[in-house]
């Protein structure tokens, strides 16, 4: 956790640095993440959401202890120092149990928090913004803050009981629920300074009422909406001028002392936009679907190469297998992808929201990926086909920086996405020199 606190402290002292958070449990994504963190000499923040990992296993089938062991094993295999790894829990609260009465849902959320902290997760996003079965449709801020403070009490006790350092916290949630996307339509609005101030004040009061003054000093970030989002086919890019007042607001905050903003849904932002976000105090950038989207692109490109050089009867048929499994188990996409059957077919494979990411752990899909890899390891990938379907990886192979092997090619494509985040968070010279830096963005 010292790495995380060091970065936030450096940012608060005026350095244009930040940290990106990889929100994925996919093996190939995480291997690529370790490669990029090693390349840029940075710590690596990996977070699981309350949907991915919970005390019952979540959709990954892993509880927090198992997820930690899984990530540490990948780190060891990658030769990545475990002391540079930070684990976080995202949107931790009653999200998965909204269909239940609040008291029952909060009971499950209590165990969720306890299990995350006891397993050694150091960064905890307290998110009680969702209404439960017997709640009003829109929860008052005071109830959200009260429930968050109750969960912070649990987290503090869990850390003490396990003999672990107390965690740091993230509050606020002006973003969609984990895994959810809504149509952008006219776009999302930037959080107002007044709304951010209200969120901060009501949480401060709730923490104080529960005697959590020490925990309040460890609130390092607040989730707000900087005006970035994406849906199935559109991207809303960051506009610094629209977020100037919000950026100035957090720059003036001294209680808690190490507060920055956390920006969710930064997937598909340009690298220059990421630089600007970090400069403007959105010092924690979350990425998830964009990295699995890049992985899907890589697998599909390799499957296209396979179709050219492997006899039909031996081909993996990966895209077709993925489609079959999504049709057979539609729970992860059906309520999200509207339209005609033809439109839904395109969305299942190619949507920016990338709901096919939920299927890479399916047994049949795993088998198809393994077959694809085996087929392309048994014979050299022709350079002309590599240029046709993976041109950026083709350049890296020609430069001698990359092996023309399927695993390496796929991870390289994911790594290119993560490298943009690494540069934005650790080498922000360009953004720091922009004329907009003349804004009053320094901390008091």
The predicted model scores a pTM of 0.94
The angle formed by the CA atoms of residues 75, 417 and 266, to the nearest 5 degrees, is 105
pLDDT category of residue 181 using cuts at 50, 70 and 90: low
Q: So where are the chain's domains?
A: 2-287+428-438, 292-418
Distance CA 246, CA 244 (A): 5
Tokens 């902290």 correspond to 117
Which homologous superfamily is 292-418 in? putative tagatose 6-phosphate kinase domain like (1.10.400.20)
24 closest CA partner among 61, 57, 49, 56:
49
The architecture of the domain spanning 2-287+428-438 is Alpha-Beta Barrel (3.20)
Sorting pLDDT into bands at 50, 70 and 90, what band is 187? confident
Residue pLDDT, tens place only, 353-401? 999 999 999 999 999 999 999 999 999 999 999 999 999 999 999 999 9
pLDDT at 2: 80
Q: Quick: pLDDT tens for 151-176.
A: 999 999 999 999 999 999 999 987 65
Same fold, 2-287+428-438 and 292-418: no
CA–CA separation, 3 vs 172, rounded Å?
Answer: 23
């Amino acid at each position: 956790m010292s790495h995380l606190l060091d970065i936030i402290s450096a940012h608060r002292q005026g350095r244009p640095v930040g940290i990106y958070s990889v929100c994925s449990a996919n093996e190939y994504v995480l291997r690529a993440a370790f490669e990029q963190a090693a390349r840029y000499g940075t710590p690596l923040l990996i977070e699981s959401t309350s949907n991915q990992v919970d005390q019952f296993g979540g959709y990954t089938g892993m509880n927090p202890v198992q997820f930690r062991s899984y990530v540490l094993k990948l780190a060891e295999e990658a030769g990545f120092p475990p002391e540079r790894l930070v684990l976080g829990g995202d949107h931790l609260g009653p999200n998965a149990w909204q269909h239940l009465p609040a008291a029952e849902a909060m009971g499950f959320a209590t165990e969720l928090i306890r299990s995350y902290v006891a397993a050694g997760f150091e960064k905890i996003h307290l998110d009680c913004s969702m209404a439960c079965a017997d709640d009003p449709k829109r929860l008052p801020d005071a109830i959200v803050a009260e429930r968050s403070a109750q969960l912070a009490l649990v987290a503090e006790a869990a850390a003490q009981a396990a003999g672990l350092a107390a965690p740091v916290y993230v509050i606020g949630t002006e973003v969609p629920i984990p895994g959810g996307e809504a149509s952008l339509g006219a776009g999302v609005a930037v959080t107002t300074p007044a709304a951010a101030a209200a969120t901060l004040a009501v949480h401060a009061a709730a923490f104080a009422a529960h005697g959590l003054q020490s925990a309040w000093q460890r609130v390092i970030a607040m989730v707000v909406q900087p005006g970035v989002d994406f849906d199935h086919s559109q991207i809303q890019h960051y506009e610094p001028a629209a977020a100037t007042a919000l950026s100035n607001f957090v720059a003036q905050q001294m209680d808690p002392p190490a507060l920055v903003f956390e920006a969710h849904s930064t997937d598909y932002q340009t690298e220059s936009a990421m630089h600007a976000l970090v400069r403007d105090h959105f010092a924690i950038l979350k990425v998830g679907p964009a990295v699995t989207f890049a992985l899907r692109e890589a697998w599909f490109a390799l499957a296209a190469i396979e179709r050219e050089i492997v006899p039909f009867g031996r081909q993996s048929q990966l895209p077709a297998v993925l489609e079959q499994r999504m049709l057979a188990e539609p729970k992860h996409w059906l309520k999200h992808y509207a339209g005609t059957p033809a439109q839904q077919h395109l969305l299942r494979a190619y949507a920016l929201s990338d709901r096919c990411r939920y299927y890479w752990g399916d047994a049949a899909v795993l088998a198809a990926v393994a077959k694809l890899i085996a087929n392309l390891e048994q014979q050299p990938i022709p350079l002309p086909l590599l240029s046709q379907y993976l041109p950026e990886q083709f350049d890296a192979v020609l430069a001698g920086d990359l092996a023309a092997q399927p695993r390496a090619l796929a991870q390289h494509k994911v790594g290119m996405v993560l490298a943009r985040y690494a540069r934005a968070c650790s080498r922000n010279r360009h953004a720091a020199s922009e004329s907009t830096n003349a804004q009053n963005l320094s901390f008091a």
